[in-house]
Amino acid sequence: MKSEKMMAKKEIPQKKIDTYFNYFTANTPTQTSRFIQGFCAFCIYFAIIGLSWNIPFPHFGFLGQYNSYFNWASFIIAFTIYYYTKLSPFMSYLMLFLTLLFTYIISLLQTQHSGDNLFLAQIYFLILFACGMIRYITYKMNGKNSTLKMEFLFIMLGPGWIFHFFLNKFSVKY
């Protein structure tokens, strides 16, 4: 009896981020569906940042020379990194690195197509729509259903979910 109480005290409660990752893993039973969902997670995150980057941002005089550094994507990035920091600080560093990589690619695309923001917005929307449909079809093929809340969480936590597989493989705690 006493040893059972000792064992119960030693159990570490599961972190909230692990609860979400376990949910996503349970809804993708095969390795192929995990690969598809992971690919779509990165693409959807990229497309959302790209779309929000293209929405015109108002000019604020008090920002001065730094006004060009702000856009709507800045707020999405800040919220995402803040949310990850609350769940897992180490994972927030990985997401920050991924976000910096994505913003670098988006800024290169903006430079190459400087006068054609509509074209880039259409490309980002096409990526978002196509990956969303692929995710939906993959879920239905696996016989799974998801709530709207979990879909929004997957959009934000999906890239972290893929990172967690790599971190677990190398026994890195996050």
pLDDT of residue 108: 94
Residue predicted with more confidence, 65 or 4: 65
- Asked if residue 54 lies in contact with residue 61, where contact means CB atoms within 8 angstroms, the answer is no
The terminus-to-terminus CA distance of the chain in angstroms comes to: 34
d(CA 72, CA 58): 10
Residue 146 lies in a domain: yes
Asked if residue 1 is part of any domain, the answer here is no
User: How buried is residue 50: exposed, middle or buried, by Cβ count under 10 Å (0-12/13-18/19+)?
Assistant: buried
In a domain, 8, yes or no: no
Output 8-17 pairs: Cβ under 8 A, ≥24 positions apart.
15/87, 15/88, 16/87, 17/87, 17/88, 17/91, 17/157, 17/160, 17/164, 17/174
Domain count, the chain: 1
Specify the amino acid at residue 103. T
Indicate the pTM of the whole model.
0.85
CA angle 31–97–104, rounded 5-degree value:
105
> Poorest-confidence range of 3-12, 81-90, 145-154?
3-12
Residue 87 lies inside a defined structural domain of this protein? yes
Answer yes or no: is pLDDT of 9 > 60.
no
